[in-house]
Amino acid sequence: MKSKTKIIENSSILWWIYGGSASVTLYFNAKIQDPFNSPKLWLLLFISSWVLGHIISNSKEFSANKSIKIYLLIIVLFITLQLISAFKTDNLYRAFLGENQRRNGVITYFSLAIFSLAAAIYVRKESFERFIRVALFTGISLAAYGLLQINGKDFVQWNNPYNAIISTVGNPNFAAAIMAVIGIILFGPVLNNTYKKYFRVICGVVSLFLLYIIYLSDARQGLISLTLGVGVYTVIYFFHIKHKLRHIVLVFGISVASLSVLAMLQIGPLTSYLYKGSVTVRGYYWRAGIEMFKNNPFFGIGVERYGAYFKEYREVDYPLNYGFVITSSNAHNVPIQMFATAGVFVGIAYLLLLAFIAIVGIKGIRKAQGNEKLKVASVFAAWIGYQAQSIISIDNIGISVWGWVLGGMLVGLSIKNDISLDKQFKNSGKVIFNFKQTISSTILVVLSLILIVPSYQGEKNMFETRARFNPEIETNRSALYESAKKTLNTPFLDPNFKFITGSYLVASGYIDEGMKVLDESIKEDPRNLDALLTLSQFNEQMGNLDKANMYRRQIAKYDPWNASNYLQLGRNFKALGDFSQMSLMREKINSFASKTQEAIQANSELI
């Protein structure tokens, strides 16, 4: 048996890719501090470690293929450049493990890249129906859980300030986005008569079900992504069957897409249906990210450090419109996030990756014969839908795993084989045991557990410490203290957990111990505005106004448009008898926030 791309491999690798994507999306753990993002990262890292063993053991077989070789080189370039930016980042924990409640560090993108490369290597048209079946299972699970949530039947009592539909990804926008991507995938078989009629009906029904849940979530980005993806697929379908209306459909599709984009900018007849105020907020995030990049063009402000720099770079109108406390830890635009946090080289490498996938995908559609063209088209349409939401949203792991796999699949589906992988497996007559792959995968999985296990323990300990925190109950103090010590002694502890635990200790009466932890947090991350504010407030409560002002001056450095901070600084200076500095704080507030409540208080108190 010979093929242009010879890959001798157990077909189970496809289930690792397909099932792994579904598992990462669906898995969460409600008994830890971050129930969504951290568990998904651990599972993503675990599975990608096993998959990497497959890739290493078959490197000679697939490296001869030109498309895969180019794709591999681009991925290696992207990850290498991101690693360089990570080591230049002022907080290595954030650079590698990501922002709390985000987890989009280098390890995440390395794992996603492995998934994508594996999809390019192993996925072919012959295995496509397995992918659809996994997507169908995922879609049914997401839609069913969303229906439970919107009807108040969720089996988890979430502390959720949003729409009830947060699904397994923790946010209505994320929930709508992943359901849109799955909905586009499932729409593919509906128009492809190579599938059995009953299967096409099931896919169509689930796709409509997902559309309904997206509508109930009130998340516009999901509707836009789904509409765009289905529109792209429909246009390709009409051109495929050479229907006489294909040009009309193309013009209609372009018109709807254009009107949708204009509606997001509050222009045109679709504004009332597609525009949400959150789009305006995203404009502030994008512009702040652009400013970060302009001031740090080569290596960015630091991988996953957007949140640490946002208040320094945000426009003054943002706090005046949304309050002085509200912040953001992400640019809500993946390309801008890449350029802002990792610099021009990583940003260009990421765009190069997208461009290569798009070009290969379009070529794959054009070269495919018969209804095979529709298989490639459905993957391309879903990938376009994913990219559409990434322009206005965050790289949530539960969604991005599908985006990266879809990109890899486009590369794999564009490769023409003389014989199918399925035939190779059947003709072998037995399950192939690859000793080299098993050893490689096992070693890599064990290495991943060195990070996963303590990270899980830190999340679990922090969850338990938070549950024990109640300073109003005296009997809770000793239990809180013991739990706090356990949390602080955990390896690879998230810096934010350290700060939170320190503040719990101070509030529970363990002032010296807690202040020591908070001081250590500031030394490790001088830009932690939450820790700076907490330290200043605790010192104000204890009468240490000079020390409180030291922290508040740091806040003013990293958050220059915070009138609340200047107001409290003015009050502290007044209490210390430094009326000159007090007046300067009043003038500062009036210089940019003269119509706020803070200005009214400053003009009445700081005199």
pLDDT 10s digits, 356-403: 999 999 999 999 888 889 999 999 999 999 999 999 899 999 999 999
The domains located in the chain, with CATH, are 12-440 (no CATH), 461-605 (1.25.40.10)
Identify the pLDDT of residue 473: 87
Radius of gyration from C-alpha coordinates of the chain: 26
Share of the chain above pLDDT 90, in %: 78
Report the C-alpha gap between 136 and 152 in whole angstroms: 24
Give the mean model confidence (pLDDT) for residues 116-139: 93
More confident: 309 or 429: 309
SS (H, E, C) 40-78: HHHHHHHHHHHHHHHHHHCHHHHCCCHHHHHHHHHHHHH
Band of pLDDT at residue 605, cut at 50, 70 and 90: very high
Identify the pLDDT of residue 243: 67
Residue 296 has which token pair?
């740090």
Give the mean model confidence (pLDDT) for residues 511-515: 94
Q: Mention every residue, 6+ apart, whose C-beta is less than 8 A from residue 339.
A: 289, 290, 293, 300, 346, 347
Give the residue carrying structure tokens 């448009």: 561
Identify the pLDDT of residue 263: 64
Average pLDDT, rounded, for the chain: 90
Identify the pLDDT of residue 327: 94
Identify the pLDDT of residue 412: 92
Band of pLDDT at residue 416, cut at 50, 70 and 90: low
Give the mean model confidence (pLDDT) for residues 137-161: 94
pTM comes to 0.93
Band of pLDDT at residue 429, cut at 50, 70 and 90: very low
Identify the pLDDT of residue 244: 67
402 half-sphere exposure, CB direction, 13 A CA radius:
35
Report DSSP letters for 381-443, one per residue. HHHHHHHHHHTSS---HHHHHHHHHHHHHHHHHTSPPSS-HHHHHHHH-S----HHHHHHHHH
Q: Mention every residue, 6+ apart, whose C-beta is less than 8 A from residue 330.
A: 99, 102, 104, 285, 306, 307, 337, 394
Alpha-carbon dihedral of residues 59, 63, 64, 69, nearest 10 degrees?
A: 180
53 pLDDT more than 60: yes
Give the mean model confidence (pLDDT) for residues 567-574: 97
Residue 229 has which token pair?
């993806």
Give the residue carrying structure tokens 């009807």: 151
260 pLDDT more than 70: no
Band of pLDDT at residue 146, cut at 50, 70 and 90: very high
Identify the pLDDT of residue 422: 40
Phi and psi (nearest 5°) for 32? -130, 170
Give the mean model confidence (pLDDT) for residues 52-67: 82
Band of pLDDT at residue 545, cut at 50, 70 and 90: very high
240 pLDDT more than 80: no
Identify the pLDDT of residue 254: 73
Report the C-alpha gap between 203 and 246 in whole angstroms: 24
Range list of β-strands (E), 426-536: none
